């Protein structure tokens, strides 16, 4: 709790601000069941251009938090804002990449990547970028394939390109690389980092992979479930590119594992 407050004070010029957010899901009979508290008093600030990852066991409200920032759901209490403007609805300003690629099956790979440009009515001016993003994810030769021709990993790369082509101010990633094989995954981590540096996109990154979180992020947010709360926020100050086998890396890894183990024990005591 102390750590949280200092976090809020630290980043007054923050790009993304989540303040005392609480989210309850109402049960079907209209009453509020105790188990339906998804987030409780969550506060988090992400500075413009920062890359923050969120780790935590399933059910800790990570996805709910991302959906809230995307504007797809609204908090029961508290405030979510970008800069000075509170978030009320989804916008192309905040891209979201889901666990499931959710490609539109009726569109080819190229048209899926173009979707954001079409939706914003800027396809004509920005058509050149489509090729650039297809090259980025290495799918030029699949431009005219339909999504059911793609493997899970390829589909997720298309989905990433589709979100990035809008150059969102904040990119929300809900375990985007979870479906990729280990090598593609590491390559994609570097690609995401390259993009992050090139465009200065603020990124909020949910992952189950602690190595991925340490490798990529400026800060790691550790959450606990039922109700979803922020347990600890750990800054990662090692210079990039980070060596996955360096002593600092491994030490941080051990530290996070310990915290999460502790988090698990406190859960069972509830």
Partner 1 sequence: MNTAVGEITLQSAPVASAQPTYTQPLRAIATPLESRPQTWLAVPVAAGLALAIHYFVPKREPLPETNYYPVFLSVMLALGMLGAALYPFLVRLHRWMQKMCPILGVAVGAVAGWELMTSCFAVLPLPYFPGPEGVMAAIVSDRALLFDSTWHSLILLLSGYSIGVVVALVTGVTIGWFPHARYWGMPLLKVVGPIPATAWIPLALVVSPSALFSAVGLVALAVWFPVTMLTASGISNTRASYLDVARTLGANRTYLIFRVAIPAALPNIFIGLFMGLGTSFLTLVVAETVGVKSGLGWYVSWAQGWAEYGKVYGALVIMAAFFSTIMTVLFRVRDRVLVWQKGVIKW
Using CB under 8 A as the criterion, which residues of the chain lie in contact with partner 1 when the complex forms?
67, 70-72, 89-92, 94-96, 98, 100, 102, 104-107, 115-116, 118-120, 146-149, 151, 162-163, 166
From the CB of 150, what's the least distance to partner 1, in Å? 8
Question: E strands of 25-144, at which residues?
Answer: 37-46, 51-55, 77-82, 85-86, 94-97
56/95 with CB nearer partner 1: 95
CA–CA dist 56, 35 (Å, integer): 18
- Nearest 5°: the CA angle 22, 27, 32 is 55
Cβ(163)–Cβ(116) below 8 Å: yes
| Cβ-based nearer residue to partner 1, 8 or 92 | 92
Alpha carbons 201 and 172: distance in angstroms, whole number:
10
Q: Which is nearer to partner 1, 8 or 72 (CB)?
A: 72
Following DSSP, what letter does each residue of 188-245 receive, concatenated?
A: HHHHHHHHHHHH--EEEEE-S-HHHHHHH-SEEEEEETTTBEEEEEEE--PPSSPPTT
Contact 223, 62 (CB under 8 A): yes
Looking at the Cβ atoms of 177 and 230, the one nearer to partner 1 is 177
From the CB of 49, what's the least distance to partner 1, in Å?
Answer: 20
Q: Which is nearer to partner 1, 149 or 208 (CB)?
A: 149
User: Measured from the CB of residue 118, what is the shortest distance to partner 1 in angstroms?
Assistant: 7
Q: Six-digit token pair at 38? A: 């998804």
Q: How far is the CB of 133 from partner 1 (least distance, A)?
A: 13
Please report how close the Cβ of residue 253 comes to partner 1 at its closest, in angstroms: 32
Identify which of residues 71 and 255 has a Cβ nearer to partner 1 in the complex.
Answer: 71
End-to-end CA distance of the chain: 18
Separation between Cα atoms, residue 134 and residue 143, nearest integer Å: 8
58 CA to centre of own chain: 15
Task: Compute the least distance from the CB of residue 174 to partner 1, in Å.
Answer: 11
Q: Of 160 and 230, which CB lies nearer to partner 1 in the complex structure?
A: 160
Distance of closest approach, residue 168 Cβ to partner 1, in angstroms? 8
């Amino acid at each position: 709790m102390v750590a949280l407050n200092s976090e809020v004070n630290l980043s007054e010029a923050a790009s993304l601000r989540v303040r005392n957010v609480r989210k309850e899901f109402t049960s079907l009979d209209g009453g509020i069941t105790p188990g339906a508290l998804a987030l409780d008093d969550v506060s988090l600030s992400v500075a413009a251009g920062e890359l923050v990852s969120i780790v935590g066991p399933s059910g800790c409200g990570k996805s709910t938090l991302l959906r809230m920032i995307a504007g797809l759901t609204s908090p029961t209490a508290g405030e979510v804002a970008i800069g000075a403007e509170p978030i009320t609805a989804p916008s192309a300003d905040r891209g979201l990449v889901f666990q499931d690629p959710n490609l539109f099956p009726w569109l080819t790979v190229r048209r899926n990547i173009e979707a954001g440009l079409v939706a914003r009515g800027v396809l004509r001016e920005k058509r050149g970028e489509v090729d650039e993003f297809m090259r980025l994810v290495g799918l030029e030769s699949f431009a005219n394939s339909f999504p059911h021709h793609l493997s899970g990993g390829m589909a997720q790369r298309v989905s990433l390109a589709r979100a990035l082509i809008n150059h969102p101010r904040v990119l929300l990633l809900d375990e985007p690389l979870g479906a990729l094989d280990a090598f593609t995954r590491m390559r994609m981590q570097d690609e995401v980092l390259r993009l992050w540096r090139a465009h200065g996109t603020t990124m909020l990154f949910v992952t189950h992979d602690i190595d991925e979180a340490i490798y990529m992020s400026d800060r790691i947010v550790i959450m606990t479930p039922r109700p979803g709360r922020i347990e600890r926020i750990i800054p990662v100050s090692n210079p990039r590119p980070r060596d996955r086998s360096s002593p600092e890396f491994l030490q941080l890894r051990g530290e996070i594992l310990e915290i999460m183990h502790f988090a698990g024990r406190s859960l069972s005591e509830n």
